[in-house]
Amino acid sequence: MLTYLLAFILFAVGLYSVINKRNLIKIIMGVIIMEHAVNAFLILVGYRMSGEAPIVEEGVSISEFLSTAVDPLPQALVITSIVISLGVVALMVGLAIRLYQHYGTFDITEIRKLRG
Amino acid sequence: MVLIQVFLVFAIIAALVAVEAPSALSSIISLGAVGFGLSIAFLWLGAPDIAITQVVVEIVTLVILIRATIARGVTEIRGNESKTLLIGSLILFGLGSAFFANYLSDFPEFGKSAMETFSNPASQFYLKFGLDKAGGPNIVNDILLDFRAFDTLGEATVLFAAILGAITLLNRKVFVDSGEEKQ
């Protein structure tokens, strides 16, 4: 249970950054930390005590493999999620750079003031 | 198991430093420490494919973030925070903790994977027939490229759309032509 709680705390740190910080780069960092926390949580759910990677080795019987391998499905989905998060981060940073060129600051309150 | 928790605590501390550090460089490098710490934790959790992917993605994220800040002469990123938002986020954190505590008992116990808790899970099928039906010894790759290949096709589509958006945003010419650029 403590392990799930640690993943939850990591998510909370990211959420704090997204809500509370005024700097666009800090907000992007908060989103990245939240993505990491969710990925870690999904892998933790699929873990089995003293489990091994789901890779079939030669000379290991199928029943033995079934009783030691960890859950492969969350891993496959998390790999997808990690790669997509990279694309999303690139898009967010692109938006931030464009805003910086336009307004000369990363501060979101300044950007709101300068509208028009 | 203790080792996994140690690396998760390391990731939390690195995340706190990344959020609070005023210097851009130390903040971005601490964010990299979060990803690398988690990638070592993934190795211990029996997920080597994810550890490798995480390292590659982490390096690229670092390069992108440094390109956005330090390469533009922004060395300080102070996130001045406001009092009202702090109270709001504390309330939100309390609500989240209450939610988490409420549903804590419904989680499968740590160390007992989800495929053992539910009857007839899809994962058991993949583990049992992955080698025969897909032909690869690595079951994660079998799922990615054979059993759920359409999922990977969708992933590639989303990635392509996101990168296309980023390229369009960073292309100076588009904004000059429409009169948006004010320099």
Q: Which residue among B77, B92, B109 closes a domain?
A: B77
User: Does B134 map to a domain?
Assistant: yes
C-beta of residue B25 within 8 angstroms of C-beta of residue B73: no
Q: Domain check: are B73 and B129 in the same one?
A: no
pLDDT at site B71: 81
- Reported ipTM: the value is 0.91
User: How is residue A8 written in tokens?
Assistant: 């939850």
Q: Domain check: are B67 and B127 in the same one?
A: no
pLDDT in tens, B52-69: 999 999 999 999 999 888
Given an 8 Å threshold on Cβ–Cβ distance, is A76 in contact with B140? yes
User: Does B106 map to a domain?
Assistant: no
DSSP conformation class of B23: B
| Residue B156 amino acid letter | A
pLDDT in tens, B135-153: 888 989 999 999 999 999 9
**Burial letters for B76-100: b for 16+ Cβ neighbours within 10 Å, e otherwise?**
ebbbebeeeeeeebeeeeeeeeeeb
Q: B180 pLDDT band (50/70/90 cuts)?
A: low
| Residue with token string 């799930």 | A4
Within an 8 Å CB–CB cutoff, is residue A7 touching chain B? yes
Given an 8 Å threshold on Cβ–Cβ distance, is B123 in contact with A73? yes
pLDDT at site B183: 45
**What domain count does chain B have?**
2
Q: Domain check: are B4 and B53 in the same one?
A: yes
Given an 8 Å threshold on Cβ–Cβ distance, is B151 in contact with A77? yes
C-beta of residue B46 within 8 angstroms of C-beta of residue B127: no
SS3 per-residue string spanning B138-179: EHHHHHHHHHCHHHHHHHHHHHHHHHHHHHHHHCHHHHHHCC
SS3 per-residue string spanning chain A: CHHHHHHHHHHHHHHHHHHHCCEHHHHHHHHHHHHHHHHHHHHHHHCCCCCECCECCCCCCHHHHHHHECCHHHHHHHHHHHHHHHHHHHHHHHHHHHHHHHHCCCEHHHHHHCCC
In sequence order, what are the residues at sequence separation of 6 or more whose Cβ sits closer than 8 angstroms to the Cβ of residue A72?
A46, A54, B123, B126, B127, B130, B139, B140, B143
C-beta of residue B55 within 8 angstroms of C-beta of residue B74: no
What residue ranges define each of the domains in chain A, with the CATH number in brackets?
A: 2-113 (1.10.287.3510)
Chain A segment 33-72 residues within 8 A of B by beta carbon are 33, 36, 39-40, 43-49, 51-57, 62, 65-66, 69-72
User: Does B83 map to a domain?
Assistant: no
User: Does B59 map to a domain?
Assistant: yes
C-beta of residue A46 within 8 angstroms of C-beta of residue B104: no
Residue numbers in B near A107 (CB within 8 A): 80
The pTM of this model reads 0.89
Percent above pLDDT 70 for chain A: 98
Length of chain A as a residue count: 116
Q: Domain check: are B1 and B57 in the same one?
A: yes
The SS3 assignment for B76 reads strand
Q: Which residue among B77, B108, B136 closes a domain?
A: B77
End-to-end CA distance of chain A: 51
Q: Phi/psi of residue B123, each to 5°?
A: -60, -40
Residue numbers in A near B27 (CB within 8 A): 25-26, 29
pLDDT in tens, B87-143: 888 888 888 888 888 887 777 778 777 777 777 788 888 888 888 888 888 989 999
Report d(CA A33, CA A3) in Å as an integer.
17
Q: Tell me how many degrees the CA angle B3-B9-B12 measures, rounded to the nearest 5.
A: 145
Residue numbers in B near A72 (CB within 8 A): 123, 126-127, 130, 139-140, 143
User: Does B88 map to a domain?
Assistant: no
In sequence order, what are the residues at sequence separation of 6 or more whose Cβ sits closer than 8 angstroms to the Cβ of residue A75?
A43, A46, A54, B47, B49, B50, B140
Q: Is the pLDDT of residue A116 over 60?
A: no
User: Does B162 map to a domain?
Assistant: yes
pLDDT at site B79: 67
Cβ-based contacts under 8 A for chains A and B: 267
> Which residues form the domain of B122?
117-177
User: Does B107 map to a domain?
Assistant: no
User: Does B130 map to a domain?
Assistant: yes
Report d(CA B144, CA B140) in Å as an integer.
6
Q: Domain check: are B14 and B73 in the same one?
A: yes
Report d(CA A74, CA B92) in Å as an integer.
28
